[in-house]
Amino acid sequence: MRPLLRPPRLAPGARVAVVAPSGPVPEERLQAGLDVLRGWDLDPVVAPHVLGRHREFDYLAATDAQRAADLQNAWCDPAVAAVLCARGGYGAQRMLDLLDWEAMRAAGPKVFAGFSDITVLHQAFATRLGLVTLYGPAAAGVDFLKHGRAQEHLRATLFDPESVRTVTAVSPGGTALVPGRARGVTLGGCLSLLASDLGTPHALPGARGGLLLIEDVGESPYRVDRYLTQLLRTGWLDGVAGLVLGSWAACGPYEELRAVLADRLGGLGVPVVEEFGFGHGEGALTMPLGVPAELDATAGTLTFDAPALS
């Protein structure tokens, strides 16, 4: 893992594009999210198909080509300073290969933010564009709209990233599964997406030398076991420097899940901190990917060498 290029931070009045690379977005949630962004003195613009729905597959916001065009056009618009995903769901993998990465690279560095299904795009932005991205709340996400902590941490990261160079576990249980300190470049996202993206052209080749951030939602303990075992058996986790575990909403009784995490990750011999507070849980924190950092699993802190945005 190597440090990636940090995009410029946002300033008041910046234009931000809202896109839906995956699932459909309810209009009332979109409007509420736009109101939050306008309250930050941003100028949000909505891509043409954010409120669309695929004719056959109602779990997609629009056709693959339409969703890809929305993302690419937003990224390549010189007036747009950031591209924010409206939600996750499913579908980013279907449109990924339709993007013109040369054109997007020529458009220069910008802020990109989203989570969950957007994990595959975070990986592609790292491998194809070499850019730091933000694994954080979706602009029309339920948690983002109802939880001030999620809003404030994303706002601080976008406008004043120095103020959040040290991220502290929000849960009182955010303590060491395996104590210790580690240094590396952050990577990761939603565990099931990392597992399903293995071997694809845009995926990171492995976590060696990195601090891996993982979380998930709605996956029973045996399925989490399956995903972690797959990453272990492929060698993708070989040489990882440390792990930061986020939320595991609706993933079964936590003590049962915790036993799986300890069993599958404890043998790596690296620091592991749990219940860190990013992902699908309430008040989710925004986590920069591609930035060198130090993990103190015992203290429950992740301290970045530099602000996420330049």
- Summarize pLDDT for 75-116 with one digit per residue, the tens: 999 999 999 999 999 999 999 999 999 999 999 999 999 999
b (16+ CB within 10 A) / e for 262-297: eebbeebebbbbbbbbbbbbebbbbbbbbbbbbbbb
| Catalytically annotated residues | 116, 215, 280
Local structure of 136: helix, strand or coil: coil
CA distance 82 to 105: 14
Q: What is the pLDDT of residue 170?
A: 78
15-163 CATH: 3.40.50.10740
pTM above 0.95, yes or no: yes
Domain parsing of the chain, residue ranges: 15-163, 165-304
Q: Which two tokens stand for residue 224?
A: 């989490």
Section 123-130 average pLDDT: 98
What is the DSSP code (8-state) at residue 5? B
Entry field: residues in the chain: 310
Query: Chain-wide mean pLDDT for the chain?
Result: 96
Q: Per-residue pLDDT tens for 39-82? A: 999 999 999 999 999 999 999 999 999 999 999 999 999 999 99
Is pLDDT of 310 > 90?
yes
Q: What is the pLDDT of residue 23?
A: 95
On the question of a common fold for 15-163 and 165-304, the answer reads: no
Fold of 165-304: Glucose Oxidase; domain 1 (3.50.30)
Q: What percent of the chain has pLDDT over 70?
A: 99
Question: Is 198's pLDDT higher than 70?
Answer: yes
Measuring CA to CA, how many Å separate 37 from each of 18, 19, 98, 159?
A: 10, 14, 29, 12
Phi and psi torsions of 171, nearest 5° = -90, 140
Cα–Cα distance for residue pair 34/118, rounded to 1 Å = 19
